[in-house]
């Protein structure tokens, strides 16, 4: 038995090393051909950023069982904190050209990694404060409360009283961009890995116990409010980091960037991938992001044989995309992963089951052929 475990561990290690080398080979190819592959790089970078936010949302919604919809608000906090403290000092007069910049932050510029962490910490701080009243609510009431929080944050950011900090409705530009695709990949990998470690820890098991049955969880000594607050705060931290990464990806942001539709996009990714599945959230982020881009030709006018096709016009892309999503949900009503994870053992079981089904089908066909003879 021990030998089998050792062999399996060695096999998994070899496969992991091969996948890591293959991933970096792909990233190296994309980075060295960034001029020709710029479009593909932008899709991958956006997908990685949304994957971080989707996994953080799944931490609360999928693993703890709390229906929170405040992602856009926490992303906005992380994005603005990161942007404010990373815009080069020399460029700030051209950014805050209407009302000027607050003297307290005018000459403060910090390294990007520190700014991302700071953005996450500020988002987590807000989550800790609002978590005290809202986490006592349940289900739809919690969703409405967190959704309202996101809109309040967006309104405050755009308000005139914040002009000298957030630049109000004019937004921020000149935000430093990522130097290459490696930075986005490594940051996303670190964030998701940390959340996976948390989910697999005793805290993660406590979160899942709350999701399954709050009364049973409390009866074994789990402090419900403490664990809910912890899950909410940690999720908000990584959502804030994801918001900061999005600001760097876009290089310019304003309050409209963080409308409610952004939260719905993240929720769609979580549901499509599978509630309670980390690998499902990552897969969903790539499918949703890439799908929206690949179907963009539906928004362009189409002429065949000199005849204009009236359906092909702006807006058709989202109609087709929505229909495809509906079909996916009909066949996979629990999401693509259904709460499961992509592991080497599960992949092996999938192919073994597929092979068994093919053999049974072949045997059935052979029997049918013999009967016909």
Structural domain range at position 130: 39-268
**How far is residue 72's CA from residue 264's CA, in Å, rounded to a whole number?**
9
Phi, psi of 291, rounded to the nearest 5 degrees: -60, -45
**How far is residue 22's CA from residue 25's CA, in Å, rounded to a whole number?**
5
Cβ–Cβ < 8 Å for 50, 285: yes
* pLDDT tens-place string over residues 145-194: 999 999 999 999 988 888 899 988 888 998 999 999 999 999 999 999 99
**How far is residue 51's CA from residue 58's CA, in Å, rounded to a whole number?**
10
Residue 362's pLDDT band (cuts 50, 70, 90): confident
Does residue 361 sit within a domain?
no
Does residue 195 sit within a domain?
yes
**In terms of DSSP H, where are the helices of 33-111?**
38-61, 71-86, 92-95
Handedness of CA 244, 247, 248, 252 (dihedral sign): negative
* pLDDT tens-place string over residues 283-327: 999 998 988 888 777 767 766 666 666 666 777 777 777 787 778
Q: What is the pLDDT of residue 309?
A: 65
Does residue 230 sit within a domain?
yes
* pLDDT tens-place string over residues 78-93: 999 999 999 999 899 8
Q: What is the pLDDT of residue 33?
A: 86
* pLDDT tens-place string over residues 120-149: 999 999 999 999 999 888 878 899 999 999
Does residue 197 sit within a domain?
yes
Does residue 328 sit within a domain?
no
Question: At 309, which helix (H) or strand (E)?
Answer: strand 307-309
Does residue 356 sit within a domain?
no
Q: What is the pLDDT of residue 307?
A: 65
Of 157, 74, 167, 174, residue with least CA distance to 119: 74
Which residues are CB-neighbours of 126 under 8 A, at least 6 positions away? 73, 74, 77, 153, 236
Residue 114's pLDDT band (cuts 50, 70, 90): very high
**How far is residue 149's CA from residue 114's CA, in Å, rounded to a whole number?**
26
Number of domains in the chain: 1
In the predicted structure, residue 117 carries a pLDDT above the cut 90: yes
Phi, psi of 172, rounded to the nearest 5 degrees: -120, 140
Residue 371's pLDDT band (cuts 50, 70, 90): low
Does residue 110 sit within a domain?
yes
* pLDDT tens-place string over residues 215-256: 899 888 899 999 999 999 999 999 999 999 999 999 999 989
């Amino acid at each position: 038995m021990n030998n089998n475990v050792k062999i399996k561990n060695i096999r998994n290690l070899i496969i992991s090393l091969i996948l890591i080398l293959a991933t970096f080979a792909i990233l190296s190819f994309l980075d060295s051909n960034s001029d020709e592959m710029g479009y593909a790089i932008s899709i991958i970078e956006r997908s990685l950023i949304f994957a971080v936010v989707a996994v953080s949302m799944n931490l609360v919604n999928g693993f703890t069982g709390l229906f929170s919809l405040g992602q856009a608000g926490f992303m906005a906090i992380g994005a603005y904190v990161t942007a404010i403290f990373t815009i080069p000092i020399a460029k700030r007069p051209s950014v805050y050209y209407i009302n000027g910049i607050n003297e307290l932050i005018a000459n403060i510029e910090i390294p990007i990694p520190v700014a991302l962490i700071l953005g996450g910490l500020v988002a987590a701080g807000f989550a800790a404060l609002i978590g005290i009243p809202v986490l006592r609510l349940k289900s739809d009431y919690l969703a409405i409360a967190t959704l309202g929080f996101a809109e309040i944050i967006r309104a405050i950011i755009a308000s005139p009283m914040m002009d000298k900090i957030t630049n109000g409705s004019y937004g921020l530009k000149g935000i430093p961009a990522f130097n290459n695709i490696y930075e986005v990949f490594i940051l996303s990998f670190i964030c998701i890995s940390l959340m996976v470690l948390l989910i697999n820890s005793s805290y993660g098991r406590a979160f899942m116990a709350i999701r399954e049955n709050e009364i049973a969880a409390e009866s074994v000594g789990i402090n419900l409010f403490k664990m809910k607050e912890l899950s909410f705060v940690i999720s908000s931290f990584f959502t804030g980091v994801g918001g900061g990464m999005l600001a760097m990806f876009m290089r310019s942001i304003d309050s409209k960037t963080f409308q409610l539709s952004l939260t719905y996009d993240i929720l769609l990714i979580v549901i499509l991938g599978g509630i309670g599945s980390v690998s499902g959230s990552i897969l969903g982020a790539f499918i949703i992001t890439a799908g929206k881009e690949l179907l963009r030709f539906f928004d362009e006018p189409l002429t065949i044989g000199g005849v204009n096709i009236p359906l092909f016009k702006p807006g058709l892309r989202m109609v087709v995309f929505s229909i495809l999503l509906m079909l996916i949900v009909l066949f996979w009503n629990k999401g693509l992963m259904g709460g499961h994870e992509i592991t080497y053992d599960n992949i092996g079981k999938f192919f073994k089951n597929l092979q068994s089904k093919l053999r049974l089908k072949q045997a059935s066909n052979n029997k049918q052929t013999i009967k016909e003879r």
